[in-house]
Structure 1
Amino acid sequence: MVRKSFLAIGSAIIAFGAVACSQASTIETEAGPQFRDEPLVSEIYTADPSTHVWEDGRIYIYASHDIESGIPEDDLGSHFAMRDYQVLSMDRVGGPVTVHPVALDIANVPWAGRQMWAPDAAYKDGTYYLYFPAKDKEDIFRIGVATSTSPVGPFTAQPQPIQGSYSMDPNVFRDSDGTHYMYFGGIWGGQLQRWQNGVYDPNGTVDDLRQPDQPAIMPRIARMADNMLEFAETPREVMLLDEEGNPLLGGDNARRFFEGAWVFKRGDTYYFTYSTGDTHYIVYATGTSPYGPFTYRGRVLEPVQGWTSHHSITEINGQWYLSYHDTQLSGKTHLRNVKMTPLTFNEDGTIQTINPFK
């Protein structure tokens, strides 16, 4: 799940504050902003879409389930206090969308305390796996896994989070050889800056972000074990580079990693896509290995209306689609709605940037 805090980093200064709307230049009319796409559902609020097509050919979207928590907004995203997951599905893009019953409730996750944020899912050998972040009883983000024989659940959570997991926004990518990798992490509210030495440091907040001329905090990757329930290796950094081969810097807010990794492969190229958080872009970098390094290439999505931006990219019947969210229905930062729109690649493999407004 994506949170957006306003981190204006420059001359070793960080200004923290909650931003109630995006930096997008919306096209306004008397009726308000003119949105490119319409929400997939309106009966519940959904965000952070993870879109998959499994063996049955149906489209499944694993998303955060936003609720009105009554918790005041802060720059750590405390008001994003979601407590369960529900799955959306449809037989074709643009077709009727089914909202399935609760797939997993925090009450049935023994180790979890609060805040079930952006999930992802995977399938292997007849079992569906739901990966999700939540704060444990000590208020530290961990990543859990739950299993089901149905793509929509109900899912049964493992009694403990994945050993060695931390931070949030898991994305599990299946490579063409069948190997699965988890990408994860998010700075500030996602606590990744508190794990720079592999050990949780509750004070690792401001100082680790106040280094605009140093390499930015990087996302993490770990190969999954065959059972899909644990890591097969210690998580390592994923290096994100500029065009000259240098690590993106902490002060490069329009390009550095903030949260929301999503990886896919097209031909022989691996695409590492992510949110820049406080600058509100979805961007991408490319590489030749699932471990990276990945070189920054450009923007996928311009800023949406809302406090966050989070996405997935999926090929469906030969056409690629971007799933994303905004706040068209509610106008409130924490009550979001999921959308889908076609994604276009140029002949050289670059991605055409999408404007979420007409």
Structure 2
Amino acid sequence: MTTKAPFKHSALALLAASVLAGGCQSTTTETQAVEEPVAEQVSPISDPLVTEIFTADPSAHVFNGKIYVYPSHDIDAGVPEKDDGSHFAMTDYRVLSMDSVGGKVTLHDVALDIKDVPWAGRQMWAPDAAYKDGTYYLFFPAKDKQDIFRIGVATSSSPVGPFKAQPEPIAGSFSIDPAVFKDDNGDYYMYFGGIWGGQLQRWASGQYNPEDVYPADDQPALMPKVAKLSDDLMSFEGEVKDVQILDKDGTPLLTGENDKRFFEAAWVHKYNDKYYLSYSTGDTHNIAYAIGDSPTGPFTYQGVILKPVLGWTNHHSIVEHNGKWYLFFHDSSLSGGKTHLRSVKVTELKHRPDGTIETIDAMVEQPGA
């Protein structure tokens, strides 16, 4: 969940530019055929999964052969837009499910409401889910009564809830965007963190600092965090560590490398025995990725999975189903570009033979009529 003002080079800007370009005609002589300009139209590559509500930040998983998507639930709460993201004032979670991509999508009833989370104060942002030994776990960030982001956990016997929250957040948790990865050996890891409104920068010293202090552009960038989960998935086992993201020369990405470095929305998937860390670059709006040999890193930067979408934020998940890989993401096409009213979408993701990932553009140009 990013919290800056909308960026200027959005798909709407591209659309406006293309329309203006189409309206400019060159002069012709009497012997030349006069050709009408062909305007270029920009349109999304996929439709929202649901239109009854606004959804964002999708975490997709396959449980018992079926796809379940755990998004945040965008609402227009009437909160003025601020840099700290106060207008992202979500209060509950609802789960989406489908038998296959392209099939019917079911929007389920409320899975968890903030009023049923004893420790939470406001802003239930991007969640994730996991399954173990007959229990489904919903991991979610929210600001506590002191307005500090923590990560909570709730459980259910059903993948769609309702979920019952633990009375306290996970000890030692902070910031936002929890993403839980199950390795082949049965170990579970949580990745988390988000800069700016997500407060990650306030934990640089290991203790909470209410002042926002950022590294200089020529210093190593803030990194996402990782912690191994306990056997019952209710707590961290061992210390919280930085996830190192390196350039191809082996040096850490720098704060000034805005088009590459981590901002929020970490996600991990495994392909051909390699671990893929993908994440949002935040103020440059890419979904970038890096590859490593261990779930805890280090990871080496590779490139961009998803270019900027319509709306300011970019947040995703990656999952395999029936032999194909899919990218779940969101944009603001349903709300006409309102940055806090987004909709979850999905498109196929393709790994190249060398293991790299083909870049996806969520907006495509089509010839006008």
Amino acid at match of 1:252: E
Deviation, 1:292, is 0.3
Deviation, 1:22, is 5.4
Match of 2:330 in 1: 325
**Mapping for residues 333-344 of structure 1, pairs under 5 Å:** 333-344=339-350
Is 1:218 aligned with 2:227? no
Deviation, 1:26, is 3.9
**Mapping for residues 48-59 of structure 1, pairs under 5 Å:** 48-55=57-64, 57-59=65-67
Q: Secondary structure at 1:189's aligned position in 2? A: helix
- CA offsets per residue over residues 145-196 of structure 1, 9 Å max, x none? 0000000000000000000000000000000101000000001100000001
Amino acid at match of 2:270: K
Deviation, 1:33, is 3.5
1:327–1:184 CA distance, 2 compared to 1 (3 A): same
Query: Does structure 2 conserve the Cα–Cα contact (< 8 Å) formed by 1:172 and 1:180?
Result: yes
Is 1:188 aligned with 2:196? yes
Deviation, 1:21, is 5.9
Q: Structure 1, unaligned stretches of length 5 or more? A: 6-17
Amino acid at match of 1:351: I
- CA offsets per residue over residues 12-48 of structure 1, 9 Å max, x none? xxxxxx1266544645568963111111110000000
Match of 1:312 in 2: 317
Corresponding pairs, count:
341
**Mapping for residues 34-73 of structure 1, pairs under 5 Å:** 34-55=43-64, 57-73=65-81
Is 1:161 aligned with 2:169? yes
Q: Structure 2, unaligned stretches of length 5 or more? A: 20-38, 365-369
Match of 1:107 among 115, 121, 128: 115
How far apart in 1 are the matches of 2:86 and 2:42? 27
- CA offsets per residue over residues 215-242 of structure 1, 9 Å max, x none? 0001100000000010011101000000
Deviation, 1:99, is 0.4
Match of 1:19 in 2: 6
Query: Does structure 2 conserve the Cα–Cα contact (< 8 Å) formed by 1:133 and 1:141?
Result: yes
Amino acid at match of 1:300: I
Match of 2:151 in 1: 143
Deviation, 1:76, is 1.5
Q: Secondary structure at 1:173's aligned position in 2? A: strand
Query: Does structure 2 conserve the Cα–Cα contact (< 8 Å) formed by 1:222 and 1:233?
Result: yes
Query: Does structure 2 conserve the Cα–Cα contact (< 8 Å) formed by 1:287 and 1:295?
Result: yes
Query: Does structure 2 conserve the Cα–Cα contact (< 8 Å) formed by 1:85 and 1:105?
Result: yes
CA RMSD of aligned residues (A): 1.4
Query: Does structure 2 conserve the Cα–Cα contact (< 8 Å) formed by 1:22 and 1:307?
Result: no
Q: Which has the larger radius of gyration?
A: 2
- What is the percent sequence identity of the aligned residues? 62
Report the TM-score, using the length of structure 2 for normalisation. Answer: 0.90
Query: Does structure 2 conserve the Cα–Cα contact (< 8 Å) formed by 1:122 and 1:172?
Result: yes
Match of 1:126 in 2: 134
Q: Secondary structure at 2:60's aligned position in 1? A: strand
Deviation, 1:4, is 4.1
Query: Does structure 2 conserve the Cα–Cα contact (< 8 Å) formed by 1:130 and 1:155?
Result: yes
